[in-house]
Amino acid sequence: MNRTVVVVLVLVAAGWAAAQASTDPSPLTLEQALALAPDASATVLSARADLDAAQRSEARVTADPASLRVDRVSAHNATVNAERALAAARAGDRVSVASAYFDAGQADTALSVAGLEVAIQQQTLKAEQARLDAGAATDLDVAKAQNNLHAAEATLAKATTDRALAFNTLASLVGRAVGATTGEVALPALEPLDSYLQRARQENAQLVAANGAAALAQAQLQAVDNDFSARSTVQQAQDTLADAQRHVDEVQRTLDLSVKGAYANAQASAAALINARAADATAQDDLTAAQARLDAGVISPLAFRSSQLTRLQASQALEVALHTAVLRLYTLEQVVAGS
């Protein structure tokens, strides 16, 4: 078979996806999607509004010479909590948008695989019919080939629908129409575990709120721990502070466990990505060898198409492994932020 024809066969499946997006906007990068998403996210917009309100309230309390220390601590806590809540909302939004972006890219790949499978089954049916005419196959062989083609066509139809749904979901999250994704995704570096634990202890929304509540309880105790207060009032303030401090300890223990678990998942996905890359390289080597054998007339065109399909499926598995690895890292950042 002519090499040009072979290349065309490899690209047949990609044409299915290209036809779907030919009139749509230019391909969207992951970075663009992540940049657009906050302005389309109700959660992020609400968190921004909450932060603005908290900052205005703190400014009023700070400017009031008659405000008490407890009031200033409370107002400052509200601002800090709103800041961390906004950061957590952004981290959660990033996971949602990246997941939708990857789903769209994988839907394109699935459509390509389904398109190539249909082409293979069409050629298989044609070959079985030729064998039947030559007396080398039975009606049952042809019927099986027809059934396989119908199944492949059904898979292609579902893949087409799934692609439309995936891109619609992505469009709703970024606030604009999306015709295609670029497929260019970089894997962020996995930092040492201690760096994530340290950042979580400083930045996590739940832990920051717990620490703020403890600081406010401390200020309230100091405000009543004098001869103007009844002993029961002081004891109640002491109990509130003790409860707040216990809550800080519990939140930190739970947070450490969550960060460690998310970190272990990120490590596992990174290892799986290495294996997927090795399998993809092997599939490429096998396809190269199949091309040489096809050119030498040692294998049939259908056998070569099977190698093409195996190569495309290995690429599909690599894509999924890469996306999973990136999402696990984003999820780790989400845990750190407290979303």
Q: Rounded CA gap, 39 and 33, in Å?
A: 11
More confident residue, 1 or 308: 308
pLDDT band for 263, please (50, 70, 90 cuts). Answer: very high
Look at the block and give the residue holding tokens 């044609």: 126
If DSSP codes are grouped into helix, strand and coil, which group holds residue 137?
A: coil
pLDDT band for 18, please (50, 70, 90 cuts). Answer: very low
> Which pLDDT belongs to residue 199?
97
> Which pLDDT belongs to residue 11?
40
- Percentage of the chain surpassing pLDDT 90? 91
Enter the tokens of residue 51.
């932060």
In this predicted structure, the answer to whether residue 60 has a pLDDT above a threshold of 50 is yes
**Cα angle, residue 270 at apex, residues 267 and 276 outer, rounded to 5°:** 145
pLDDT band for 34, please (50, 70, 90 cuts). Answer: very high
Enter the tokens of residue 218.
């401390």
Which residue in 113, 144, 146, 141 sits closest to 306, CA to CA? 113
C-beta separation of 199 from 338 below 8 A: no
pLDDT band for 183, please (50, 70, 90 cuts). Answer: confident
> Which pLDDT belongs to residue 255?
98
- Percentage of the chain surpassing pLDDT 70? 93
In this predicted structure, the answer to whether residue 237 has a pLDDT above a threshold of 50 is yes
Enter the tokens of residue 247.
């809550």
What mean pLDDT is predicted for residues 24-33? 87
pTM of the model: 0.87
The dihedral built from the CA positions of residue 165, 167, 169 and 175, taken in this order, carries a sign that is negative
C-alpha torsion 187→191→192→193, nearest 10: -80
C-beta separation of 109 from 319 below 8 A: yes
The dihedral built from the CA positions of residue 119, 121, 126 and 127, taken in this order, carries a sign that is positive
Distance of CA 282 to CAs 53, 172, 191, 287, Å?
57, 38, 30, 9
3-337 fold: Outer membrane efflux proteins (OEP) (1.20.1600)
Domain boundaries, given as residue ranges, for the chain: 3-337
Beta bridge partners, 28, equal: 181
Q: What is the DSSP string of 158-216?
A: HHHHHHHHHHHHHHHHHTS----B-----------HHHHHHHHHHH-HHHHHHHHHHHH
Which residue in 33, 51, 102 sits closest to 269, CA to CA? 102
C-beta separation of 87 from 334 below 8 A: no
What mean pLDDT is predicted for residues 317-331? 98
What mean pLDDT is predicted for residues 58-76? 95
Q: Rounded CA gap, 325 and 339, in Å?
A: 19
Which residue in 166, 168, 169, 40 sits closest to 105, CA to CA? 166
Look at the block and give the residue holding tokens 């992505």: 170
> Which pLDDT belongs to residue 25?
65
What mean pLDDT is predicted for residues 152-179? 97
pLDDT band for 15, please (50, 70, 90 cuts). Answer: very low
If DSSP codes are grouped into helix, strand and coil, which group holds residue 28?
A: strand
pLDDT in tens, 107-130: 999 999 999 999 999 999 999 999
What mean pLDDT is predicted for residues 166-172? 97
Of 11-15, 167-171, 237-241, 268-272, the poorest mean pLDDT is in 11-15
More confident residue, 19 or 182: 182
What mean pLDDT, rounded, does the chain reach?
92
